Amino acid sequence: MGSRRLRTLVALVGVPIGLVFLWLAIRDADLRAVWDSLRAADALLVALAVAAFGVVYVLQSTRWRRIAGTPTVGILRFVEMTVSGVAVNNVLPGRIGDFLRARWLGLAARVPAGRAFGTVVLDRAFDLVILVALLVVGIAAVASSEWLVELAAVGIVVVLAFCLVLLLSRTYIGRRDRDRRERGLVRRLARDTVERLAEPLGRRHLVVWLALSLGAWGAWAVAALLVARSLDLDLSVTDALFVTAVLNLGSAVPSSPGYVGTYEWLGVASLGLVGIDKEPALAFTILLHASWYVPTTVVGAVALGARAVVQLRGRRAVAAPR
């Protein structure tokens, strides 16, 4: 199946799912009360939440740069690629922004596309490990329900599956002739990706990558706390970490671009488990969603546009007669 057909299929499946979840989130809610809460939000605290989300992307970019091991590419370029990838995911289905991140890294660092994609896979895997851990702790310490246990179970299975992929990658590369050249683009991409995943991670690297991941999602929880305070909601640190895990793990469910609908239902459902009523929970989720969605979409679009202009000028300069 071609990538265009796959994206179309994801959109056809994800958008209706997002609409269903959006209806579930706003059903029986007093939307006027939600709007009044949003209007009364403390703008300064919301601005600080936006800044906290900026810290999230800097930490994630730093982790990705360390995983990639490409010192020739600066941290600002990694931040640009990370935010641009998020912006693409915000408006297009199928998480195509992650594939574009691999493409951009391959061009910037002059490494094979498969190896670059392997770094993105590892980058996402460390997010998954921390989020699953936070969710398991949250279920034990904050609240639990059948759907949360199922979400945690799926997350644990995915983490174990990824560990198995790493093990199989090492076994495959160890038994295969490294000098053998693969024929065909897809086979070369797969080979290079597997080779990157098969490389030893190293204990020191693991500790640093996990610490950066924990720091990133800790900053995300701080942003959630600030948004809650802006609406006069009493959310504890433990609650914020719990909501962080639920919202970001649940966003993996097929949905409309930007996770519209799915995000709102997850926010209302998770906050309901900690005793927050539907209207303030919906206001919180909408404001939290907007606090990262709008800035990343705008900044990412500007970065993509600026990069396109630079590349176009470079091509014109090369093509110009001398």
Q: For the chain, what are the domain ranges?
A: 16-316
- Model pTM greater than 0.95? no
Q: Which of 135, 120, 91 minimizes the C-alpha distance to 247?
A: 135
215 contacts 59 by C-beta, under 8 angstroms: yes
Is the pLDDT at 16 greater than 90? The verdict is no
Supply the pLDDT for residue 278. 92
> CA-to-CA distance for 55 and 217, rounded, in angstroms?
10
What would the two tokens of residue 168 be? 């199989």
> CA-to-CA distance for 302 and 87, rounded, in angstroms?
10
| Count of CB atoms situated within 10 Å of the CB of 89 | 23
The mean pLDDT value for 308-312 works out to 81
Supply the pLDDT for residue 6. 47
225 contacts 237 by C-beta, under 8 angstroms: yes
Is the pLDDT at 179 greater than 90? The verdict is no
Mean pLDDT of the chain: 87
Supply the pLDDT for residue 1. 43
Q: Which of 29, 12, 109 minimizes the C-alpha distance to 65?
A: 109
Q: What is the pLDDT of residues 37-85, one digit of tens each?
A: 999 999 999 999 999 999 999 999 999 999 999 999 999 999 999 999 9
The mean pLDDT value for 307-312 works out to 82
User: End-to-end alpha-carbon separation of the chain, Å?
Assistant: 45
Place of tokens 């020191």: 204
Highest mean pLDDT among 11-15, 92-96, 210-214, 261-265: 210-214
Is the pLDDT at 253 greater than 70? The verdict is no
9 contacts 257 by C-beta, under 8 angstroms: no
Percent of the chain with pLDDT over 90: 61
Supply the pLDDT for residue 186. 76
Question: What separation in angstroms does the CA of 123 have from each of 42, 117, 135, 141, 160?
Answer: 34, 10, 19, 28, 16
> CA-to-CA distance for 202 and 196, rounded, in angstroms?
13
Cα angle at 103 between 102 and 106, to 5 degrees?
85
Supply the pLDDT for residue 73. 95
pLDDT band at 122 (very low <50, low <70, confident <90, very high): very high
Q: Which of 271, 250, 219, 13 minimizes the C-alpha distance to 155?
A: 250
242 contacts 274 by C-beta, under 8 angstroms: yes
> CA-to-CA distance for 210 and 190, rounded, in angstroms?
26
Where does the chain have alpha helices with state H?
Answer: 3-26, 31-39, 43-68, 75-91, 96-109, 113-141, 146-175, 185-198, 203-230, 237-250, 262-273, 278-319
Tell me which of 83 and 91 has the higher pLDDT.
83
The mean pLDDT value for 278-298 works out to 96
Count, residues in the chain: 322
Q: What is the pLDDT of residues 255-283, one digit of tens each?
A: 667 788 888 999 999 999 999 999 999 99
> CA-to-CA distance for 29 and 282, rounded, in angstroms?
8
Q: Looking at 4-18, 159-173, 194-208, which range is the least confident one? A: 4-18
Q: Which of 303, 312, 311 minimizes the C-alpha distance to 78?
A: 303
Supply the pLDDT for residue 4. 55
Supply the pLDDT for residue 172. 76
The helix-helix angle for 75-91 and 43-68 (nearest 10°) equals 110
Q: What is the pLDDT of residues 222-248, one digit of tens each?
A: 999 999 999 999 899 999 999 999 999
pLDDT band at 199 (very low <50, low <70, confident <90, very high): confident
The mean pLDDT value for 127-152 works out to 91
132 contacts 152 by C-beta, under 8 angstroms: yes
Percent of the chain with pLDDT over 70: 86
Place of tokens 């290079």: 192
